[in-house]
Amino acid sequence: MTTPAPQSDTDAAYAPVARRLLIPTWITIGILMVLPVALMAIYSFLTKEFRGGVIWDFTLDAYDQFFITRGLFGDEPAQIEWTYITIFWRSIWQAGLATILCLAIGFPTAWFIATRPAHTRGIWLFLITIPYWVNLLIRTVSLKFLIRDNGPLNESLMSIGLITDPLPLVNTNLAVQLGLFYSYLPFMVLPIYAAVERYNFTLSEAAADLYASRFATLREIVLPVVKPGIIAGCILVFVPSLGAFLAPDLLGGAKTFMIGSLIDEQFKGSQGNWPFGAAASMILMTLVMIVLLLYARAQTKGGAR
């Protein structure tokens, strides 16, 4: 199916009312999402009020606070403020590592499932997706319970004598990555599974006939063919990881502070700074949009389907 089937009358039965049917969607998402995001963009240019609100005076203060420092008393020459850039950089790094972790485990899993006989694939997929349906907060709390200093993981490792002191896992970068991995793994497995399922295994057989080793086949033949699935999986894990709040907040500590917590803080109580929080959200959204645009471009370039 390279060309879309000609529009027949039966496929367009709702054409006369199509736009009327979309009115509820336009109203709901338009008013409750597009308008708020536009308003947030405006807020990021307003002046903060000390009780946690805004004054309608336009200023670049929020972005200035994000990127530039002028010393404690504001009288030194302007320099780059690294505090927030570091938090963003750390978030990108954490999300990236979590994505790699998901890929390393998710690809073999997806491959394994896609090569099962057709009637058992559904069960395997079902097993992988169930945890995704379980409340994210509960999953994160459960993970924390398992890996905390005197939790079941450390207790059992100590009782079999593998370690003598509990592994300090909670409040580390590793715990946050593990939490992100645990949160979004199914997003990696499902698109790769879909790609591998469509993969034509005779290609692998041809490679094997020509004496390619298993891993040469994987590298040279399989990976290029299923690459769209891998990229889609990486985006689906990376993007929500970047703005994640629960995993860093519950599993991490002060040293693993990520964008989500930074934004959250700006809206809590009288200590908050709404314009700054709006500006940080705008910067986060810009980053995500850049990733999505790059993805869309790569797809249209390579997607001669």
Size of the site for other proteins (CB under 8 A): 94
- How far lies 125's CA from each of 132, 143, 189, 203, in Å? 11, 22, 9, 25
| Binding positions for other proteins, 145-204, rule CB under 8 A | 145-146, 150-152, 155, 181-182, 185, 201, 204
- Taking the complex as a whole, how short is the minimal distance between the CB of residue 85 and other proteins, in angstroms? 18
Q: Verify binding: residue 246, other proteins, rule CB under 8 A.
A: yes
- Taking the least distance from each CB to other proteins, the nearer of 228 and 235 is 235
Helix-strand-coil percent breakdown of the chain, rounded to 5?
70, 5, 25
Largest CA distance in the chain: 73
- Taking the least distance from each CB to other proteins, the nearer of 69 and 208 is 208
Q: Verify binding: residue 223, other proteins, rule CB under 8 A.
A: no
| Binding positions for other proteins, 88-117, rule CB under 8 A | 105-106, 108-109, 111-113, 115
The single residue among 7, 159, 164, 270 that binds other proteins, judged by CB under 8 A, is 7
Q: 151 phi and psi, to 5 degrees?
A: -85, 175
The single residue among 3, 5, 6, 32 that binds other proteins, judged by CB under 8 A, is 32
- Taking the least distance from each CB to other proteins, the nearer of 60 and 131 is 131
Query: Which residue in 91, 261, 107 sits closest to 180, CA to CA?
Result: 91
The single residue among 175, 195, 237, 242 that binds other proteins, judged by CB under 8 A, is 242
3-state secondary structure of 77: coil
Q: Are 87 and 254 in contact (CB under 8 A)?
A: no
The single residue among 228, 251, 263, 273 that binds other proteins, judged by CB under 8 A, is 263
Half-sphere exposure of 45 (CA within 13 A, CB side): 5
